[in-house]
Amino acid sequence: MIKEEFDAIVIGAGMSGNAAAYTMASDGLKVLQLERGEYPGSKNVQGAIMYANMLEKIVPDFRDDAPLERHLVEQRLWVMDETSHTGIHYRSDDFNEVKPNRYTIIRAQFDKWFSRRVRGAGATVLCETTVTELVRDAKGKVIGVRTDRAGGAIYADVVVLAEGVCGLLGTRGGLRKMLKPEAVALAVKEMHFLPEEVIEQRFGVKGSEGCVIEAVGTISHGMAGLGFLYTNKESISLGIGCLVSDFAAKMESPYGLLDALKNHPSIRPLIAGSEVKEYAAHLIPEGGYKAIPQLFGDGWVVVGDAAQLNNAVHREGSNLAMTSGRIAAEAIIQLKRRNDPMTKRNLALYKTMLDKSFVVKDLRKYKDMPALLHTNACNFFTTYPRLMSQAAQNFMRVDGTPKIEKEKATTAAFIKARSRLGLVSDAIRLALAWR
Amino acid sequence: MHIVVSIKQVPDSAQIRVHPVTNTIMRQGVPTIINPYDLFALEEALRLRDAYGGEVTVLTMGPPMAEDCLRKALGYGADRAVLLTDRYFAGSDTLATSFALSQAIAKIGETFGPPDVVFTGKQTIDGDTAQVGPGIAKRLDLFQLTYVAKIASIDLAAREITVERRCEGGTQKLKSRLPCLITMLEGTNEMRRGSIEDALCAARSRIVKWSAAEAGIEDLTKCGLRGSPTVVKRVFAPTPRSEKAVQIDTAEKTLRDLADELIGAIFTRQPALEPELAFEAA
């Protein structure tokens, strides 16, 4: 048995776990962080875009030595059908600021860096150590953890569960329910390596400027899903994700979708000649506000993906993870300073603080969005993209048809596909969910 | 008993790549591991300690980042780690390496108690020479037991050890006096998973870092590039064989034709065989 007791044990060394461990250790708490991977980042998968403001709140000088790929100056949002894409591109020189707002990162490298900072702040980090069980006292308060290593339990005042999307430990420990297939997406991605100058040329960027494309449409084969292409320094992350329940219902394979995306005439030239060196898959929480489980209890809090904190509409996850980790840590620090015990009642402070942050406010704003998109997947991801493509082509193609007839044909196509009532109700429901 | 295990941090050969133009190993960004052969030595040392009591000290020579492999060794349960690091050691061949390590082991003996057994792996996966272990034994005047497959028994009172040594044509059972140096054969045991205490200890213990001077090395001309008579003249990749296997269609031929064709094909490639075989047939 280990006699030594910690102020806090953080389970997992992803974004939320590192944020929590760093914040607590920086304040002088005695922190133990446990990670099952060989090194922090070895098991972590993300697209990935990192949002600077949220990291700055935790590690203000991160730009000095964090492994950042490109800062983003251009965002392309595409609606795709089988042969075309219709897009909104936003590019601004304003993004070439001293402290840029968004960066592409490679998690295996970034998380290693973050963990070095966590260690530097004074936390003890153990890798290749899987937590198998939460240890409770007679009253059910979580007082420590047991791992897959020999030697018994380790004790702490509070356990921060940053165990990631599957959250097996928390579900096994009865802290929350099992993940539902309709509340989680499966995303697959490949790393396409290309020389730096080829990427600069293809995307019209220079130096560390970067460009991202995010796309919806027939690429998800009628399922609720999103495709993405992110430029790194010397590689392109290309991937696509759809709801697990949709994959199951449609009997589609994730790699099949990714293969089709790679061969799409709009994507193919962007990755031509590249060498694929890595592929990865990961689950993403998609349930939104309504899927957020109980966030705290006697001796424990849950943060990041394990708490389902992911904004699917804005494709934000890691910033919510970091922020929830930081806020949980700040709540624990406050209790510690006041010498308050880590009871359920006291740890409710974490939820109160989180509710006031953008994390919960944003998720509440889109609370109806998952249900709408998931039940109407076919309309939003197939019918409308096709109609949009047809309309655009109708508008662009010059073939001697009088313009008034072209417009009528476009209108007719929309009405035929969804009926007047359907169009109006889709518009209203979308507007309501967005509000 | 006090056991010293000398280990080396090597690039993970599974992830290494050779530069297509210069034929040199591209070490940049390649993850490093403990030389896999050394793990058998370390595990054997830990087993001896668990059975007979005492301490295991791991030692490595390398750049500051070699600390990672020592920390890993501590995580497996080693009691102490010593990193011999100094720019004077850069470019060491096996002669200079065994000199520096033997000096460090002598210093370890002075500081933490004389070792009863020094372990090394059979060889490293990057150098493949199997010279450093015997080199250390020679310099420290230790009995050396190389390619050891099993430690049969130790009699600490009589200061004797009995081991099984794999050799050409069989296994030798050897008895030696202590102290001795053992180079451990691969596949002889399985590395344990350190306990949570070991892991915690490894994450926090301070690693002893010695420069050449701190390790008591006075003659720097025997260290690093200056002390290394080995010169790498050229590095080259083996040329791929141009000859490919020949496929013979068996469906449409009689056995006799097939045999003739095969023998014919062999003789065209190896003309020297023809008179010999023809003579035997006659």
Query: CB–CB of B204 and A126 under 8 A?
Result: no
Nearest by CB: B204 against A124, A129, A147: A124
Sign of the alpha-carbon dihedral angle for A19, A24, A28, A32: negative
Map out the domains of chain B as residue ranges.
2-227, 241-282
Helix then strand count (H, E) for chain A reads 15, 17
> How distant is the Cα of B237 from the closest Cα of chain A, in angstroms?
23
A150 interfacial to chain B (CB closer than 8 Å) = yes
Closest CA to A292 of A311, A277, A273, A278: A311
Q: A154 to chain B: which residues are within 8 Å by CB? A: 196, 200
Query: CB–CB of A147 and B196 under 8 A?
Result: yes
Query: CB–CB of B194 and A124 under 8 A?
Result: no
A334 interfacial to chain B (CB closer than 8 Å) = no
Compute the residue count for chain B: 282
* Residue in A closest to B197 by C-alpha: A151
Q: Please tell me the distance from the alpha carbon of residue A160 to that of residue A175, in angstroms, as a whole number.
A: 12
Contact B67, B207 (CB under 8 A): yes
Average pLDDT over residues A352-378: 86
Is the confidence at residue A208, as pLDDT, over 90? yes
Query: CB–CB of A2 and B193 under 8 A?
Result: no
* Residue in A closest to B193 by C-alpha: A149
The amino acid at B218: E
Map out the domains of chain A as residue ranges.
5-68+105-177+293-365, 182-285, 369-434
The 10s digit of each residue's pLDDT in A209-233 is: 999 999 999 999 989 899 999 999 9
> How distant is the Cα of A98 from the closest Cα of chain B, in angstroms?
29
Q: Which residues, listed in sequence order, are joined to residue A79 by a DSSP beta bridge?
A: A86, A216
Q: A2 to chain B: which residues are within 8 Å by CB? A: 196-197, 200
Query: CB–CB of B196 and A125 under 8 A?
Result: no
Nearest by CB: A2 against B194, B200, B203: B200
Torsion of CA B44, B48, B50, B52, to 10 degrees: 180
Q: Which of A2-6, A259-263, A339-343, A367-371 has the lowest mean pLDDT?
A: A2-6
Q: B196 to chain A: which residues are within 8 Å by CB? A: 2, 126, 129, 147, 149-152, 154
Q: B199 to chain A: which residues are within 8 Å by CB? A: 126, 128-129, 149
Q: B203 to chain A: which residues are within 8 Å by CB? A: 124-126
Average pLDDT over residues A69-80: 95
Closest CA to B138 of B93, B178, B98, B97: B98
A277 interfacial to chain B (CB closer than 8 Å) = no
Q: So what CATH class is A182-285? A: alpha beta
Contact A238, A192 (CB under 8 A): yes
Contact B89, B224 (CB under 8 A): yes
Query: CB–CB of B197 and A125 under 8 A?
Result: no
Q: A147 to chain B: which residues are within 8 Å by CB? A: 196
> How distant is the Cα of A152 from the closest Cα of chain B, in angstroms?
8
Query: Do you find a cis peptide bond into B271, omega within 30 degrees of 0?
Result: no
Average pLDDT over residues A195-217: 95
Q: So what CATH class is A5-68+105-177+293-365? A: alpha beta
- For an interface test with B, the pick among A32, A118, A129 (most B C-beta atoms closer than 10 Å) comes out as A129
* Residue in A closest to B205 by C-alpha: A124
Query: CB–CB of B194 and A149 under 8 A?
Result: yes
Contact A142, A136 (CB under 8 A): yes
Q: Please tell me the distance from the alpha carbon of residue A362 to that of residue A79, in angstroms, as a whole number.
A: 24
Distances (CA, A) of B159 to A263, B110, B156, B203: 72, 20, 5, 35
> How distant is the Cα of B71 from the closest Cα of chain A, in angstroms?
11
Mean pLDDT of chain A: 92
Query: CB–CB of A149 and B203 under 8 A?
Result: no
> How distant is the Cα of B37 from the closest Cα of chain A, in angstroms?
20
φ, ψ for residue A209, nearest 5 deg: -65, 150
A400 interfacial to chain B (CB closer than 8 Å) = no
A154 interfacial to chain B (CB closer than 8 Å) = yes
Q: B194 to chain A: which residues are within 8 Å by CB? A: 149
Query: CB–CB of B195 and A124 under 8 A?
Result: no
Query: CB–CB of A154 and B196 under 8 A?
Result: yes
Percent of chain A with pLDDT over 90: 75
Q: Please tell me the distance from the alpha carbon of residue B204 to that of residue B194, in angstroms, as a whole number.
A: 15
> How distant is the Cα of A387 from the closest Cα of chain B, in angstroms?
48
Residue B257, pLDDT score: 86
A172 interfacial to chain B (CB closer than 8 Å) = no
Average pLDDT over residues A315-327: 95
Q: How confident is the model at residue A413 (pLDDT cuts 50, 70, 90)?
A: confident
Sign of the alpha-carbon dihedral angle for B85, B91, B97, B103: negative
Q: How far is CA B42 from the centre of its chain?
A: 12
Per-residue pLDDT of chain B (282 residues; tens, 9 = 90+): 999 999 999 988 777 777 666 666 676 777 889 999 999 999 999 999 999 999 999 999 999 999 999 999 999 999 999 999 999 998 899 999 999 999 999 999 999 999 999 999 999 988 889 999 999 999 999 999 999 999 999 999 999 999 999 988 899 999 999 999 999 999 999 999 999 999 999 988 889 999 999 999 999 999 998 899 988 888 777 787 777 777 777 777 788 888 888 888 888 888 888 877 766 665
Is the confidence at residue A111, as pLDDT, over 60? yes
Q: Please tell me the distance from the alpha carbon of residue B81 to that of residue B26, in angstroms, as a whole number.
A: 29
In A12-84, DSSP assigns E strands to 31-34, 49-51, 71-80
Report the CATH fold assignment for B2-227: Rossmann fold (3.40.50)
- Judged by DSSP in three states, B24 sits in coil
Residue A231, pLDDT score: 97
Interface A:B, Cβ pairs < 8 A:
34
- Judged by DSSP in three states, B68 sits in helix
- For an interface test with A, the pick among B17, B200, B204, B206 (most A C-beta atoms closer than 10 Å) comes out as B200
Is the confidence at residue A106, as pLDDT, over 90? yes
The 10s digit of each residue's pLDDT in A261-272 is: 999 999 999 999
* Residue in B closest to A3 by C-alpha: B197
* Residue in A closest to B33 by C-alpha: A38
Give one DSSP letter per residue of A114-149, joined into a string.
HHHHHHHTT-EEE-S--EEEEEE-TTS-EEEEEESS
Average pLDDT over residues A357-381: 84
Q: How confident is the model at residue A153 (pLDDT cuts 50, 70, 90)?
A: very high
Query: CB–CB of B200 and A126 under 8 A?
Result: yes
Q: B197 to chain A: which residues are within 8 Å by CB? A: 2, 151
Residues of B with a Cβ under 8 Å from any A Cβ are 75, 193-200, 203-204
Contact B67, B90 (CB under 8 A): no
A308 interfacial to chain B (CB closer than 8 Å) = no
A251 interfacial to chain B (CB closer than 8 Å) = no
* Residue in B closest to A31 by C-alpha: B200
Q: Please tell me the distance from the alpha carbon of residue A220 to that of residue A261, in angstroms, as a whole number.
A: 9
Residue B212, pLDDT score: 94
Residue B25, pLDDT score: 67
Contact B202, B180 (CB under 8 A): no
